Amino acid sequence: MGARLLLEDGTLFEGTHFGASGESFGEVVFNTGMTGFQEVLTDPSYYGQIVTMTYPLIGNYGCTVDDMESTRSHVRGFVVRSYETIPSHFKSEFSLDDYLKREGVVAIADIDTRKLTRILRVHGTMKGVITSLDTPLAQLQQRLADYVHPVDQVAQVTTKTPYRIPGEGLRVVLLDFGVKMGVLRSLRARNCDVVVLPAYSTYEEIMAWGPNGLMMSNGPGDPMDLPEIVETIKRLIGRIPIFGICMGHQLLCLARGAQTEKLRFGHRGANHPVKDLRTGRVYMTSQNHGYVVREESLRNTNLELTHINQNDGTVEGVRVKQEAAFSVQYHPEARPGPDDSDELFDEFIQLMKQFVQGGDVNAKTK
Ligand SMILES: NC(=O)CC[C@H](N)C(=O)O
């Protein structure tokens, strides 16, 4: 059965259909990871996006509940060069096709994903639609032109009610902007007592849990859609140690007066080199973001640039001078991807310990 992918600029790809049937609109982006399609599909930061995998063979190792990054898929569509129908891996419990059908994700295979990626690299990410239906092209074009991306996507994916993952160690409140399981696993591996709160929790609701530290998660959409949350973070900086990942990083920077902007085509994949400017060490990192903190905007703030991307020189990490707060644009929880940056969670634990011992609101990030 056939399927079509139509881009906002009029480019049409015709391929084979798999996954759910129907018509689905979203922002078309690409991911450069060679593996990790299941983590990509279940990462809430991809909410509202149609994801293309640049690696040509997808589905080979099947799916397993173990590798889910949340309880459902958040993508609006999935695009691959070659879909492998027979999964082969000892952990595989079901096929990618079964999973996409179950989650209502429309997918297309057998298109030239290299050509698609080059279009997105040159012209930037754009709106698109995948359809398995026979809708006439002119009608499809009109519907795509009328489609608008959802705003405040964080509200769609954050937990509706607080929940706790008990542990014997330090109490971490996690503001859930669309948290990946990997972040929770990394905190649990360090025995933290984790309380996950809705993104729009107030300063008082957060502090009522008596946290030793605040973790701010990844999440979908534009950080500038979230001014109320930025106001809450302004009050929290200096009160408790803070560690921000991706969306959490962008919001920390906005709270300290920096600015964010949209990248032309973003960074998505498990193979992005990042340099720690303090040590000169380069880490391979897992990434998924379309927005970035503007480096020039750090100048009049007390944010210190700690990490940069080796490919395009963009901001990858900061710390707040004189305060116990730091953040990174990439994903140290590494699902999928290299765990080079796992130590950032240990740094956060150290910061919280220092803070507990000294009761010191000025415990320094290293
Ligand atoms: N993974 C994330 O947290 C992404 C943050 C933000 N939605 C961006 O695309 O830049």
Mutate to test the pocket of ligand 1, among 31, 42, 45 (most ligand atoms within 8 A of CB): 45
Q: Which of 192, 246, 307, 316 is catalytic?
A: 246
Active site residue 246: yes
- The pLDDT tens digits of the residues spanning 235-272 come to 999 999 999 999 999 999 999 999 999 999 999 999 99
pTM of this structure? 0.96
Q: Are 73 and 51 spatial neighbours (Cβ–Cβ below 8 Å)?
A: no
Tokens encoding 236:
């929290």
Residue 161: the pLDDT is 98
Supply the DSSP symbol for 337: S
Domains and CATH numbers, the chain: 2-146 (3.50.30.20), 154-358 (3.40.50.880)
- In a structure prediction context, what are the per-residue pLDDT tens digits for the chain, which is 366 residues long? 899 999 999 999 999 999 999 999 999 999 999 999 999 999 999 999 999 999 999 999 999 999 999 999 999 999 999 999 999 999 999 999 999 999 999 999 999 999 999 999 999 999 999 999 999 999 999 999 999 998 889 999 999 999 999 999 999 999 999 999 999 999 999 999 999 999 999 999 999 999 999 999 999 999 999 999 999 999 999 999 999 999 999 999 999 999 999 999 999 999 999 999 999 999 999 999 999 999 999 999 999 999 999 999 999 999 999 999 999 999 999 888 888 889 999 999 999 999 887 655 444 454
Residue 279: the pLDDT is 97
The atom of ligand 1 lying closest to the CA of 260 is: 10
Residue 359: the pLDDT is 57
CA of 146 to the centre of ligand 1 (A): 24
What is d(CA 280, CA 273) in angstroms, rounded to the nearest whole number? 12
Identify any residues that bridge with 53 across adjacent strands, giving them in sequence order.
Answer: 31
* CA distances in angstroms from 116 to 81, 135, 241, 288, 349, listed in the order given: 10, 22, 43, 18, 42
DSSP string, 110-172: SS-HHHHHHHHHHH--EEEEEE-S---HHHHHHHHHH--PPS-THHHHS-SS-EEE--SS-EE
Known binding residue 311? Answer is: no
Residue 142: the pLDDT is 98
Known binding residue 290? Answer is: yes
Residue 309: the pLDDT is 98
Known binding residue 288? Answer is: yes
Looking at ligand 1, which residue's alpha carbon is closest to its atom 3? 218
Active site residue 204: no
Active site residue 63: no
* Phi, psi dihedral angles at 62 (to 5 degrees): 70, -165
Residue 34: the pLDDT is 94
Give the residues surrounding ligand 1 with Cβ less than 6 Å away.
45, 218-221, 246-247, 288-291
